[in-house]
Amino acid sequence: MARKRHLNNAPITEALIDFRVVTPTSFSAEAFLSLKPILAERYPIVEERRGFETQFALGKGSPPKSQFKDLGIHGYFFKTSDGLHIAQFRSDGFTFNRLKPYTAWENILPEALRLWKLYIDVVSPESVSRLAVRYINHIAIPSPVGDFSNYLTTPPMVPSELPQNVSSFLVRLVIHDSNLELAANITQALEKGIDPSSVTIIFDIDAYKAGEFDPNGEEIVNLLNMLRNFKNDIFFNSLTEKTVEAYE
């Protein structure tokens, strides 16, 4: 495992802070348009998001039939002019995205909380049902790889009697911290890039806590910081020191 520390060149391609909510039945997503003048200077790009539903029916002796239903506006994405920050205001929750290059948790958390307060003002959610901190990393390693244990603390294993050249893998785990009542979806996948001299390990960590939380409660900030620490534990315990040193 690697030593925990701040990485100036972290391999993060996208970081998300996500709130899932219980919304009043009377709420309409069009209400988010009231935020356009408030967010116009910082988030001038606005994109509408709609929900769709497709149903397929199979009948004996007849071709399949499909029905397409437009579920209406689901929310709006507000983007900065450089596209690096995205604020998703949706009828089922709020998500703040920070794209590469990543800066620091101390920068993105305050902005996410500022926008979350605007979400509360518009929606007045009954409760928060899920909080999550998700980080998607792209870790480049030299090709041919040889031994994955040089880079991952739990590398994919191939029986010694078989050829050891691995061109692709996908591993997904769901782990739980029973003491803190936290959980995380962990995905590792190997992708070949355009450059034949390297391959990319996609390392996706989605740390979350489900429950029923007060949208205005102080526990929201504490829980998000706990999830961020949990995410860091997973990240540094999953990678070798050799891997992490490349991103200092």
Q: What integer pLDDT is reported at residue 167 of this predicted model?
A: 84
What would the pLDDT profile of 116-151 be if each residue is shown by its tens digit? 999 999 999 999 999 999 999 999 998 888 789 999
Which pTM was predicted?
0.90
Query: So what's the pLDDT on residue 34?
Result: 97
Q: What is the DSSP string of 34-86?
A: GGHHHHTTT--EEEEEEEEEEEEEEETTEEEEEEEEEEEEEEEEEE-TTSSEE
234 in a structural domain: yes
Token representation of residue 128? 């928060």
More confident residue, 160 or 80: 80
pLDDT of 20 reads 98
Structure tokens, 235: 């990240």
pLDDT score for 69: 64
pLDDT at 165: 84
Radius of gyration, alpha carbons of the chain: 21
pLDDT at 57: 66
Q: Reading across the β-sheet that carries 12-22, which strands appear in turn?
A: 45-59, 62-79, 85-90, 93-99, 12-22, 127-142, 198-213, 182-192, 170-177
Number of domains within the chain: 1
Model confidence at 195, pLDDT cuts 50, 70, 90, reads confident
Token pair belonging to 214 = 């007060």
62 pLDDT tier (thresholds 50, 70, 90)? low
Residue 183 has a pLDDT of: 98
Q: Is residue 172 part of a domain?
A: yes
Residues with Cβ within 8 Å of 118's Cβ and at least 6 positions away in sequence, in order, are 35, 38, 39
pLDDT at 170: 95
> What does the pLDDT read at residue 58?
64
- If you average pLDDT over residues 187-215, what whole number do you get? 92
Sequence-separated (6 or more) residues with CB below 8 Å from residue 169 = 156, 188, 189, 190
The answer to whether position 39 is within a domain reads no
Q: Which residues pair with 213 in a beta bridge?
A: 128
| Res 68 pLDDT > 60 | no
Q: Which helix H or strand E contains 231, and what residues bound it?
A: helix 219-238
pLDDT value of residue 209: 98
Q: Phi and psi of 17, rounded to 5°? A: -120, 120
Inform me whether the pLDDT recorded for 52 exceeds 60. no
CA distances from 42 to 112, 116, 122, 210 (A): 13, 15, 18, 31
Domain of 229, in residue numbers: 1-17+133-248
Q: Bridge partners of 20?
A: 93, 130
- pLDDT tens per residue across span 33-42: 999 999 999 9
Which of helix, strand or coil describes residue 222?
helix
DSSP 139: E
Inter-CA distances, 37 with 29, 170, 183, Å: 16, 44, 38
Confidence of residue 2 (pLDDT cuts 50, 70, 90): very high
